Amino acid sequence: MMEDIMLSTVSITTPILLAALGGMFSNLVNELNIGLEGLMTISAFFSVLVASSSGNLFLGIICGMGVSIVFSLIMILFRLKLKGNIFILGLATNLLASGLVSFLGIKLLGSKGTVVFKNVSKMAVVFIENNSENAFSRILSGFNIFDYISFISVIISFFILYKTSHGFHMRATGLSKKTAINVGINVNKNKIVAYLLCGVLCGLSGASLSISVSSFTAGITNGRGWIALVAVILGRNNPIGILLASLLFGLTTAISSVLQTGTEISPKLLMMIPFIVTLIGLIFSSLNKGKKTEGI
Amino acid sequence: MPFFISILIGIIIMGFTSSNPAEALDAFFLKPFSNEYFFGNMISGAIPLIFTGLAAVIAFSSSIFNLGLEGQVYAGAVISTFIANSMVGANNLLILTVSIIAAFIAGCAIGSISGFLKSKFSVNELISSLLISYSITFFLDFLLEEVLLDRGSGLIATESISNSLMFERILSPSNLHSGLIIAIVLVIVVYFLLRKTTFGFSSKLTGDSIQFSKYVGINTGLMTVVIMGISGGIAAIGGMVDVFGVHGRVIRGFSIGYGWNGIAISLIARNNPLLVIPAALFFAFLDTGATTGAIFSDITPEISKIIQASIFYFVTASFYFKFNRKGMGK
């Protein structure tokens, strides 16, 4: 039972974590991307479609990421060149993605419901030789590549943000645009780079949703993009914080789904748990933040 | 301008995907006006959007984001239906009054929680309203499935309210109902509230600068709670009006999308309460066009979403065009 909870915690956390890291980069340059959901949807569709028609998983993931990057860049270009409102652009991306995906679903696949793709190879799950004596190998096995990628992404994001000049410039851009311009940081370039990273990570997140189940459903993201935004705020723009916030949501969701099968309590009531726990987490996190700023 | 560009995009897509583009265009753009049924349904489809659009306008004009509209609409619908069903036998006018007040209070309570959390603990209201909305939706689904369920109907829905309680139909056989009048009255009330009263001015001031507002003596914390409350309350009345006007009962998921579209409409209306009506009508037109397009030709209804999305892109861009022109004029 504990192993089940752990496994499903990780698989629930993965897409949220990836998208949240993408959202974090956008929030760092002060252009919070609320179109995460749309980017995930579009990537989920194209990655599984290409993976199935080409028979190449890797190509599928790359294509999903590519489309997600394109949409992400369209957003930031509308923002920078046409002075659009990033909030509206995010909503537009969400709407366009869901419309486009069901439209293409009907045109290309003849269905807007669930489509199961046959030709997607099942390499996605990594099994380390299950050696029951070695507890370490047991912990590491059973996860798919996306789970590993998401945790590696946390480390890479941390490295980019705190150990490279790019990360420093990005953070500076977010803190004060004017100061950043004055010290010679190219603000627009940093915003574009942030959205590029956002596109990459949301692309991975979307691919992880569809490829791991070899199918696509309209509404496959099921609000995960919004939960990822919650994780960005709750994790306070810090990759480690975002990891913890995503895990909190993943763990409570996993527990609530175990309880759904094991108890008599109505599933709908149990499904409220992750959202309420996250809200409480948010309140406590804001309380702490309030104290800190007062202290300074 | 953005509308023309996006409709042009729609026309191009239809031209490429339909085997008979002329017929498709006719079905999408003209059929909604062709008879009373489609025309009435189009206007009736705009009614809940006017409410949610107004709710979003109120929040946005004080620079507050209320992303919990979905849950608030749903809550208003469920509570008012519950009251109408449990007060059977009382005077109809009394039932309607109590239902509408109860819906408002429910939405108001849900909305003001986010306002309270923001003013007391500085919790981001965008996130808290969203989380609360998800939780409320699950809770109401639970009520619908296990407590209020009408087992005879075969649907996941409450029992129908008495026919005599339903709003008067205006354009039979369509769904258009007299709830439209409530919507229009509310638009005018909100317009005066925001533009012509001290309250409206203080709310705008609070949105512009909290520090300055505190300095001039506005209770900004209370302001945030009240604004979120009114916003949630109006959205909830929208849910109630949709049930009492069209469905007659709460069916699970009937209001999905009302909240998001409301936010979109307030953005297109540029936060002007009066412009909410045309913006909502335009959205309803696209939806009706999508339906008629699918019935009378071979285009898929999802096309309306693509047109709506492209409007967003160009609406924000047009801000720039306007701004730029002003700058050159100087």
Is it true that the peptide bond before B2 is cis, omega within 30 degrees of 0? Answer: no
Q: Is the pLDDT of residue B300 over 50?
A: yes
Amino acid at A49: L
Read off the pLDDT band of A121 (50, 70, 90). Answer: low
Residue B132: which of A83, A223, A279 has the nearest Cβ? A279
- Confirm if A242 and A227 have CB atoms less than 8 A apart: no
pLDDT tens for A267-283 read: 888 888 889 988 998 88
Contact status of A292 with chain B (Cβ, < 8 Å): no
| Residue A52 backbone phi and psi in degrees, to 5 | -75, -45
Q: Is the pLDDT of residue A244 over 70?
A: yes
Amino acid at A41: T
**Average pLDDT of chain A to the nearest whole number:** 83
Look up residue B257 and give its two tokens. Answer: 């999308």
Q: Collapsing DSSP states into helix, strand and coil, what is residue B169?
A: strand
Residue contact B138–A102, C-beta within 8 A: no
Residue contact B300–A106, C-beta within 8 A: yes
Contact status of A265 with chain B (Cβ, < 8 Å): no
Instruction: Pick the more confident residue, B166 or A124.
Output: B166
Q: d(Cα A59, Cα A62) in Å, to the nearest integer?
A: 5
Residue contact A226–B130, C-beta within 8 A: yes
Residue B302: which of A102, A223, A229 has the nearest Cβ? A102
pLDDT tens for B45-101 read: 999 999 999 999 999 988 888 999 999 999 999 999 999 989 888 888 999 999 999
The answer, yes or no, to whether ipTM is higher than 0.90 is: no
Residue burial B294-307, b: 16+ Cβ < 10 Å; e: rest: bebbebbbbbbbbb
pLDDT recorded at residue B319 = 54
Q: Is the pLDDT of residue A133 over 70?
A: no
Contact status of B5 with chain A (Cβ, < 8 Å): no
Sequence length of chain B is 330
Element (H, E) at A144: strand A143-144
Residue contact B127–A229, C-beta within 8 A: yes
Q: Which of residues 32-91 of B touch A (CB under 8 A)?
A: 65
pLDDT recorded at residue B328 = 37
Q: Which of residues 108-147 of B touch A (CB under 8 A)?
A: 117, 121-124, 127-128, 130-132, 134-135, 138-139, 141-142, 145-146
Distance from CA of A121 to the nearest CA of B (A): 31
Mutation target vs B (from A103, A221, A233, A252; most B CBs, 10 A cutoff): A103
Contact status of A123 with chain B (Cβ, < 8 Å): no
Look up residue A88 and give its two tokens. Answer: 């509206």
